[in-house]
């Protein structure tokens, strides 16, 4: 097997930033914004923080996707020859699509919230009594989505670790052997 250090690094660093940044913002930024002093300042701090994160997150996602395509190209032979790899690729692809969807929907809602930079809020995802209803509705949806993106990308990290384990020489030999023998042999998770 050839080395794919650049594509693997892009895949991993991009995914790490996507996961870690969204988790940090959900855990810290949204709650910390509530300490801004006034409800208008709370909305401003949360919006500024998320708006500053958005281009970095977009770059991280782009890096991850480019790295993912590189990984697919570099492992094309294994994907077709090694038992268990096609289902792992399908799972990773499905999780990536779900994480992209949740991220895009979150950004759409985030734009609605940040359109009024100093909108009153209790926290980054908790409306205040004076929050306009359309913004309040977006914040309530964001309260759930702020955990969906790191959950999906966190599962992607785990599945990527499993994919790395599938590249061990012993796993490749066994998976290719099982594929050649028509799927006979012991099943592996």
In a domain, 188, yes or no: no
- 149 neighbors 103 (Cβ within 8 angstroms): yes
In a domain, 164, yes or no: yes
In a 3-state reduction of DSSP, which class is residue 177? helix
How far from 148 is each of 100, 108, 134, CA to CA, in Å?
Answer: 11, 15, 21
**36-50 pLDDT, tens digit each:** 989 889 888 988 999
In a domain, 112, yes or no: yes
In a domain, 121, yes or no: yes
**119-139 pLDDT, tens digit each:** 889 998 999 999 999 999 999
Residue entry with tokens 């855990």: 27
Q: Output the six-digit token pair for 149.
A: 């993106």
What range does the domain containing 154 cover? 5-179
In a domain, 185, yes or no: no
Q: Which residues contact residue 76 at a Cβ distance below 8 angstroms, ignoring those fewer than 6 apart?
A: none
pLDDT tier, 170 (very low <50, low <70, confident <90, very high otherwise):
low
Q: Which residues contact residue 56 at a Cβ distance below 8 angstroms, ignoring those fewer than 6 apart?
A: 17, 21
Overall domain count for the chain: 1
Q: Which residues contact residue 105 at a Cβ distance below 8 angstroms, ignoring those fewer than 6 apart?
A: 141, 145
In a domain, 184, yes or no: no
pTM: 0.85
Residue entry with tokens 């708006």: 51
- 57 neighbors 18 (Cβ within 8 angstroms): yes
In a domain, 95, yes or no: yes
In a domain, 118, yes or no: yes
């Amino acid at each position: 097997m050839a080395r794919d250090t650049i594509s693997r690094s892009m895949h991993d660093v991009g995914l790490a930033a996507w996961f870690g940044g969204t988790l940090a913002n959900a855990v810290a930024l949204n709650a910390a914004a509530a300490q801004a002093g006034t409800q208008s300042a709370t909305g401003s701090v949360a919006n500024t923080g998320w708006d500053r994160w958005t281009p970095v997150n977009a770059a991280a996602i782009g890096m991850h996707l480019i790295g993912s395509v590189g990984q697919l190209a570099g492992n094309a032979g294994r994907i077709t020859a090694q038992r268990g790899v096609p289902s792992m690729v399908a799972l990773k692809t499905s999780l990536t699509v779900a994480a992209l969807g949740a991220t895009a929907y979150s950004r759409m809602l985030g734009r609605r919230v940040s359109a009024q930079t100093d909108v009153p809020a209790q926290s980054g995802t908790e409306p205040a009594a004076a929050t306009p209803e359309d913004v309040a509705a977006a914040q309530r949806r964001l309260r759930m989505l702020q955990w969906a993106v790191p959950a999906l990308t966190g599962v992607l990290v785990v599945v990527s670790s499993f994919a790395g384990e599938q590249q061990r020489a012993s796993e490749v030999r066994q998976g290719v052997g099982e594929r050649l023998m028509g799927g006979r042999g012991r099943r592996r998770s």
